[in-house]
Chains A and B, each alone.
Chain A
Amino acid sequence: MFYALLCYHQEDVVCAWTKEEDDAVMQKLAVVQERLAKAGKLGPVARLLPTTAATTLRKDQDPPLVLDGPFAETKEQLLGFYLLDCADLEEALGIARELGAANPGGSYEIRPVGLFVDGGARP
């Protein structure tokens, strides 16, 4: 089963990390990611730029409305995601705990993936 691990965190806190703190977290996460990749469990991983760089297209009106900022105003923001190939929820939760140990605060939402298309484009 493919799972999406959606990373939520308070953006103002993450933006207040010093460069050293940020680098340290990224380094710890890279160790876990490398192990997952070797085990063939790691799909695409993305860290999203701050929500201030986001734009929302609201389709509930015609023509759709373009709004500055993220879709929802929430206490924690979607800051990144992983796609993981796991046997079951237990395994996905285990990986989330491992990643969580490297990355303080925030929450992970674990969502099974219904459809995955690898369009092949790379940044």
Chain B
Amino acid sequence: MDEARAIGTTLTAARPQALAALLRYFRDLDLAEEAFQEACLRALRTWPQNGPPRDPAAWLIFVGRNVALDSVRRRARQTELPPEEILSDTEDAEADVVARMDGAHYRDDVLRLLFICCHPELPATQQIALALRIVSGLSIGQIARAFLVSEAAMEQRITRAKARIARAQSGEGGVPFEPPGPVERAERLGVVAAMLYLVFNEGYSAAGDQTQAREPLCEEAIRLARLLLRLFPAEPEIMGLAALMLLQHARAAARFDTDGAVILLDRQDRAQWNRAMIAEGLALLDKAMRHRRPGPYQVQAAIAALHARAEKPEDTDWAQIDLLYGTLEILQPSPVVTLNRAVAISKLRGPEAALAMVEPLGDRLGGYFHYHGLRGALLMQLGRTREAREGFMTAISLATTPAEAAHIRSHLDGLK
């Protein structure tokens, strides 16, 4: 890795903390971003000569704050900027910043920054785009590619979302800059966790030639979940969320064939699963369960863990998976959860029992691709070919990606 690249990685890693602290100083997102940007430019100029600072985030906060204050002053009256040497020799001042910025400060700053991106009036896709732009520092181009829109359109979307947040922040409903109380903090963590899972799923649901452009979304979501965990190390649901994402992302290399078609779990080459990610996911789940405070992310991670632990598809503990989906139905009732449970039932008690579970969901899931896909597959197993074909045709008409449609078409071909 060359030096510029290494500095780039350091800046990326320091970004959430540095930007979050600058936001607390300036209480204005644009100014905070400008200050961070300027500090990064100075880092690229001075770090190669002076070596990287001991605490990059503190350096960026210190320098960013000074440059931004300078530019504010300069706008007020034309004064000289301090020479660069003074800014790059910041050891003492930096230590001072570090002393005043303990872990508690960092963690509420970062949480606030993430939480501000989750403004309830912003649609989910805008929350995700905003978090990727502001917190992760992904380029507009990268985000635009992930969302299949032009750069100009994405630029406009992010600008609008930022304006929306700026309006909210200056009004009554703004997120306050005081440290939150325990209840507020827990609420913010819940909202931010949901947003991170949205980011992950935006990447995970990609198929075919989109996987490459969207893979960074999965990686970013995992990176931010690890960051949250470092800041809030004893939160079982954050452990569960990180475990869930790691266990799912571990299958990335095995999920699509060379033509980009979906490979279902029981047909995947398990040797291609990422063992280190699975180990980390299982370790986190293990830690989470010790807290005896179950939640939806932990239960979903536990289901993913049962798949990860099975060396061959036939080793899968479907009875346990059925029980876990039963728990999830109580924690987070949803017809989609029941649909997933029906898969476990089909393995345990056969297609007839599973179909009985699936049929009543038709009212609510009639427009859902996976409902018709699973229903068709169960009917096919029962030899009810005509109905199966109808189910598959409906599924194809509802497919959201070519890979989904291709997968169902392969079932249809098998019906003849």
What residues on B are CB-neighbors of A66 within 8 Å? 290
What residues on A are CB-neighbors of B280 within 8 Å? 49-50, 53
Cα–Cα, bound, A55→B13 (Å)? 23
The answer to whether the Cβ of A68 comes within 8 Å of any Cβ in the partner chain is: yes
Cα–Cα, bound, A68→B233 (Å)? 6
The answer to whether the Cβ of B1 comes within 8 Å of any Cβ in the partner chain is: yes
The answer to whether the Cβ of A86 comes within 8 Å of any Cβ in the partner chain is: no
What residues on B are CB-neighbors of A75 within 8 Å? 54-55
B287 near A53 (CB under 8 angstroms)? Answer: yes
| A25-B1 contact in complex given A52-B226, A53-B284, C-beta closer than 8 Å | yes
A50 near B1 (CB under 8 angstroms)? Answer: no
A52 near B229 (CB under 8 angstroms)? Answer: yes
- The secondary structure that dominates the B interface is helix
Distance in Å from the Cβ of B274 to the closest Cβ of chain A?
10
B230 near A21 (CB under 8 angstroms)? Answer: no
* Segment at the A interface, from B4-12, B373-381, B393-401, B406-414: B4-12
B226 near A50 (CB under 8 angstroms)? Answer: yes
B1 near A104 (CB under 8 angstroms)? Answer: yes
The answer to whether the Cβ of B283 comes within 8 Å of any Cβ in the partner chain is: yes
The answer to whether the Cβ of A94 comes within 8 Å of any Cβ in the partner chain is: no
What residues on B are CB-neighbors of A49 within 8 Å? 276, 279-280, 283
Which residues of A, 4-48, contact B by the 8 Å Cβ criterion? 10-13, 15-19, 21, 24-25
| A16-B290 contact in complex given A53-B280, A68-B233, A75-B54, C-beta closer than 8 Å | no
Count of B interface residues, CB-CB < 8 Å: 30
CB closest residue in chain A, given B12: A16
What residues on A are CB-neighbors of B52 within 8 Å? 105
Among A12, A18, A69, max chain B CB count under 10 A is at A12
Distance in Å from the Cβ of A102 to the closest Cβ of chain B?
10
The answer to whether the Cβ of B175 comes within 8 Å of any Cβ in the partner chain is: no
Which of these, A13, A21, A25, contacts B13 with CB under 8 Å? A13
Cα–Cα, bound, A13→B239 (Å)? 20
Distance in Å from the Cβ of B287 to the closest Cβ of chain A?
6
B13 near A52 (CB under 8 angstroms)? Answer: no
What residues on A are CB-neighbors of B54 within 8 Å? 75
Which residues of A, 60-100, contact B by the 8 Å Cβ criterion? 66-69, 73, 75
CB closest residue in chain A, given B17: A12
What residues on B are CB-neighbors of A25 within 8 Å? 1
What residues on A are CB-neighbors of B10 within 8 Å? 10, 13, 105
Cα–Cα, bound, A51→B239 (Å)? 12
What residues on B are CB-neighbors of A50 within 8 Å? 226, 280
Distance in Å from the Cβ of B7 to the closest Cβ of chain A?
10
CB closest residue in chain A, given B288: A68
Among B10, B242, B276, max chain A CB count under 10 A is at B10
Which residues of B, 193-237, contact A by the 8 Å Cβ criterion? 219, 223, 226-227, 229-230, 233-234
Cα–Cα, bound, A24→B9 (Å)? 15
Cα–Cα, bound, A34→B52 (Å)? 31
Contact with A along B277-313 (1 / 0, CB 8 A): 0011001100100100000000000000000000000
Cα–Cα, bound, A67→B290 (Å)? 11
Distance in Å from the Cβ of B115 to the closest Cβ of chain A?
20
CB closest residue in chain A, given B103: A73
Which of these, A24, A51, A104, A105, contacts B230 with CB under 8 Å? A51
Distance in Å from the Cβ of B247 to the closest Cβ of chain A?
13
What residues on B are CB-neighbors of A13 within 8 Å? 9-10, 13
Distance in Å from the Cβ of A54 to the closest Cβ of chain B?
9
Cα–Cα, bound, A9→B223 (Å)? 16
What residues on A are CB-neighbors of B279 within 8 Å? 49
Contact with A along B230-259 (1 / 0, CB 8 A): 100110000100100000000000000000
Cα–Cα, bound, A67→B234 (Å)? 8
Distance in Å from the Cβ of B244 to the closest Cβ of chain A?
14
Cα–Cα, bound, A104→B219 (Å)? 21
What residues on A are CB-neighbors of B233 within 8 Å? 52, 67-69
A16 near B223 (CB under 8 angstroms)? Answer: yes
A68 near B287 (CB under 8 angstroms)? Answer: yes
Which of these, B6, B226, B234, contacts A68 with CB under 8 Å? B234
Known: A12-B227, A75-B54; 4 extra A-B contacts, CB below 8 A, are A49-B276, A49-B280, A68-B234, A105-B6
Q: List 29 A-B contacts (CB under 8 A).
A: A10-B10, A10-B13, A12-B13, A13-B10, A13-B13, A15-B13, A15-B226, A18-B219, A19-B219, A21-B9, A49-B276, A49-B279, A49-B280, A49-B283, A51-B230, A52-B230, A52-B233, A52-B242, A53-B287, A67-B233, A67-B234, A68-B287, A69-B233, A69-B234, A73-B103, A104-B1, A104-B6, A105-B6, A105-B10
